[in-house]
């Protein structure tokens, strides 16, 4: 996706050989026009999948997920990372292990918003080790819904999440795939359907 790749090239900051900072348009400040296009691209790629619901995880997945929901005309649910005061009953939960933080956390969604009738598109901002996406997929399965696929804004192709999810049979659509962040340079996977 050209607009996204140009934005990453012009505003992305390489923090280390494994971490890309994109605070100016995705993780802190949000670029609505870009998110609108991101949502449109997800909608195009999953237009024939019969999506009835979008599932993401707070907080940075919400903006691209809402825009995809707008274009697919489907409601958006975000999994919560912390216990909510009002979200207490009938929760579907999953454990997510973070390699960065070296800890496992629980994520949850109310049963009310996912059913056997739903066909779900999972969306997230980054794909690194794939643990967040796996946790979301686990929640979808526990709720009895179907999974149409996983839409990712930025995949780090040099980490193992993409391979892990694809090997499990999930359809993964990443709008930008980064091959390497070595030597402070951002290089993209040009063979990917960007």
List of residues contacting ligand G4P (CB under 6 A): 19-22, 27, 59-61, 98-100, 125-126, 128-129, 131-132, 156
Work out how close the CB of 27 gets to Na ion at its nearest, in angstroms, rounded to a whole number. 5
β-strand 53-57 against 76-79: which pairing, if any?
Answer: parallel
The gap between the terminal CA atoms of the chain, to the nearest Å, is 5
Rounded to a whole number of angstroms, the minimum distance from the CB of residue 114 to ligand G4P is 20
* Residue recorded with tokens 């030597």: 183
> Dihedrals φ, ψ of 4, to 5°?
-70, -45
Cα 171–Cα 32–Cα 155 angle in degrees, nearest 5? 30
Shortest Å distance, C-beta 56 to ligand G4P: 9
- When the beta carbons of 52 and 63 are compared against ligand G4P, the nearer one is 63
Distance CA 159, CA 134 (A): 15
* Residues of span 109-138 touching Na ion by CB under 5 A: 124-125
73 annotated to bind ligand: no
The nearest distance, CB 146 to ligand G4P, in angstroms, is: 23
Q: How far apart are CA 109 and CA 96, in angstroms?
A: 14
Are 16 and 45 in contact by the 8 Å Cβ rule? The answer is no
Q: Which does 21 bind (CB under 5 to 8 A by kind): ligand G4P, Na ion, none?
A: ligand G4P
Interacting partner of 59 out of Na ion, ligand G4P, none (Cβ under 5 to 8 A depending on kind) = ligand G4P
Binding-site residues from annotation for xanthine: 20, 27, 156
């Amino acid at each position: 996706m050209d607009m996204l790749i140009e934005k990453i090239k012009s505003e992305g900051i390489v923090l280390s050989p494994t971490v890309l900072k994109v605070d100016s348009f995705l993780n802190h400040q949000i670029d609505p026009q870009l998110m609108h296009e991101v949502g449109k691209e997800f909608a195009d790629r999953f237009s024939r999948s019969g999506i009835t619901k979008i599932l993401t995880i707070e907080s940075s997945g919400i903006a691209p997920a809402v825009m995809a929901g707008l274009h697919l005309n489907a409601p958006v649910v975000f999994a919560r990372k912390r216990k909510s005061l009002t979200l207490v009953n009938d929760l579907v939960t999953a454990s997510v292990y973070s390699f960065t933080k070296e800890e496992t956390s629980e994520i949850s969604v109310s049963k009310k918003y996912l059913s056997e009738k739903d066909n779900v598109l999972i969306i997230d901002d980054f794909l690194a080790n794939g643990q967040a996406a796996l946790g979301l997929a686990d929640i979808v399965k526990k709720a009895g819904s179907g999974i149409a696929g996983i839409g990712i804004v930025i995949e780090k192709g040099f980490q193992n999440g993409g391979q892990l999810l694809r090997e499990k049979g999930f359809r993964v659509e990443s709008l930008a795939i980064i091959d390497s962040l070595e030597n402070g340079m951002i290089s993209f996977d040009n063979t990917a359907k960007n």
